[in-house]
A and B are shown apart, each in its own frame.
Chain A
Amino acid sequence: MASDHDPLPPADAALAAALSGPLPGEDAGADVELLTLEQLAEHAELPASLLEAVEREGLLIPRTTDDDRRYTRADVEALRAGLALVEAGLPLDELFSLAREHTTAMRTIADHAVELFVRFVRDPIRSQATDEDDAAARLLTAFGHMLPATSTLVGHHFRRLLVNAAHDRLRERM
């Protein structure tokens, strides 16, 4: 069995590097700047205590660089979106509760999605590639297409589910 310390095959290593860098579909410029939690709190105009809680809840996921936890502008935007929900009236405790449910469900789905990627995208690429460089290039291309596509798909589908749920609720006279 391969241990954690064995080097990854070069193609997988390239994918690992891509996962740690600016992600496809995100603004690469903004992503370069890595923020500390204090800076994140300042940019989002929220108390650091709240961000620590949000992170422990698994809703804020840091980039870890050499044991330092760092955050991006995209995290600032996500926090602002959360704050918009609170400012619209959602109590923070209820939002956390919903988010916990969401995280549990989505973590299972994320694991399943990664499993599908490995079995049906990565493995066939490795079997077909002429060499490691070719495999790396193909893997990065696939990843570059699939991550934004997945984000679009999930975002769109959840929006449709929300709209339908709201229609149903209105039909029940709230």
Chain B
Amino acid sequence: MSADPQPAQPTALDRERTELGATWAETPGWMGWLSAVDHKTIGRRFILTAIAFFALGGLLAVLMRLQLARPEQRLVDADLYNQLFTMHGSTMMFLFAVPVMEGLGIAMVPLMVGARAIAFPRLVAFGYWMFLFGGLFLWISFALNIGPDNGWFSYVPLAGPAYGAGKRADVWAQMITFTELSGLVVATSIIVTIFKYRAPGMSLDRMPIFAWSELVTAGMILIAMPAVMVASTALILDRLIATHFFNQAEGGDPLLWQHLFWFFGHPEVYIIFLPAQGMMSTLIQTFTGRPIYGYIALVLSLVSTGFIAFGLWVHHMFATGLPQVGESFFTAASMMIAIPSGLQIFCWIASIWRGRIQWKTPMLYALAYFFVFLVGGLTGVMLAAVSLDLQVHDTFFVVAHFHYVLIGGSIFPLFGALHYWFPKLTGRMLSERLGVIAFTLLFIGFNLTFFPMHQLGLLGMPRRVYTYPAGLGWEGLNLLATAGGALMALAVITYAINVVWALRRGTHAAANPWNAGTLEWATASPPPAYNFHPVLVVRGRDSVWTDPDPITVIGLSCARREVLITRVVDANLDHRFESPTPSIWPFITAIATSILFIGSIFTPWAVVWGSIPVAIGLIGWFWPGSKSAPQEPTGAVIRERLA
């Protein structure tokens, strides 16, 4: 039911909508801005902040490429270069890739599942502030010459107390704590939203695939991120109070760090990858005009990838001298994970075969995936083989591989999805022309930058080197890569210009400009604060296509922020619940937590004294308000009105 132009007489529905608008409105002014709990607002903030970090990380990459363009250049010295690649990797992985996927989840999942709000909105707000403060902490430290310089993976002993002088490695380790805490709380919220906030009738097998991908990702976050928090905490403890986790002379082991880090690190890349697979299914479905082929297969692929991803981490450690039998297991697992990914690709090709392509910018990004991610996935199969990995590990071949899978597998779908959901989130359409230009520049620039790196790795160029000698055949390829980097920068700038232009002058978007089938397109662009009124009942997949005049739910209060809680599997009605109102306490608690985290890299007492402000913040946050208890949906209060 899209927002039709207002008829001459305000109907009962219009009056209810006006009242709902007031009930769900944000508080005005500075306080309101800091207290926001609307999931669309927070989702937009996540996305914008993540894109800002993406731009910063990209600038660092440009600097690195300039330094590597010619052999034995002295543009950037060794110390700065080490900081550049560390900041580039850390920013892209922790401050851009995961937050942007989460941000899209926060913004879109409640809309897709027909909910009025996200679960635990104040927790999500807290998650945003922690992400922002963690990112600021890292970058301000970089500006103060305390930026980390040991790589985004921060191996010990180099990052340990003996070889990592000063506080640089501690800044890295604590940034992890910020961003992983943010990830964990958002993941919790997304899981509960998907399990309990779905519109009545939206059983799990009617849920959009993007929601499934966010669900699996959130589950992976819950298991993977504690591992890296343990690792980074152990590192801080080693550095600050002389524990011996990684000290081989006192019974620890540097290899322990690698196991702990990569147990997180490998699932991390799938955390970045899986939502993008969900986006692919979404884009292909919409732009071929038919329900996606192989829904069950696609969902099972997502779930099985999520599980198998936890069994691959040792493939980052093939050169460390582990026993061969153990390594073989990880070769097999690393190759086998290609099967669910392949299954998804085949289902998408089948979908394209059966549909009619709408040649719009988001579809271009989705099609580019096949060319780019496939190369990366295949080089991944090569890297899974221990023997081959022993030669190309830690060379530019790996750099090429992971950029192909990350950019091809995640960024291309992401840019397509941002283009696709832009009208929904902002109410404006992006320019098609600028979109195609940005896409073309990105596709060409990306391949020009990263394809030569395969050859560089085969010719023996290792990673993380601030310069290289002439005479080994590496000069021309490096220059080519730098030229490609310039094109990529142009592409990103073009995309940004498109966004800025669209926000000012873009056409106003209708509720469903792409004629898509999922529920978020059943409400206005941008949606009102309460998302849906009335709340829709779902009777099949892609209900905007299959059920144009749906049954609705009536009886939810317009004077309170009521959401409908449903059951996990079949989404039958369970109870009504009052969603939390805006509050400043998540922000205050985030400030207090940040002080605790930052202080604790200087002295262990910060944990003790710092927990007092945190306790105050939490007490303020959870102080019992006047919210009513969850109410049963009695027959007298909620009726399904038959069409």
Real binding pair = no
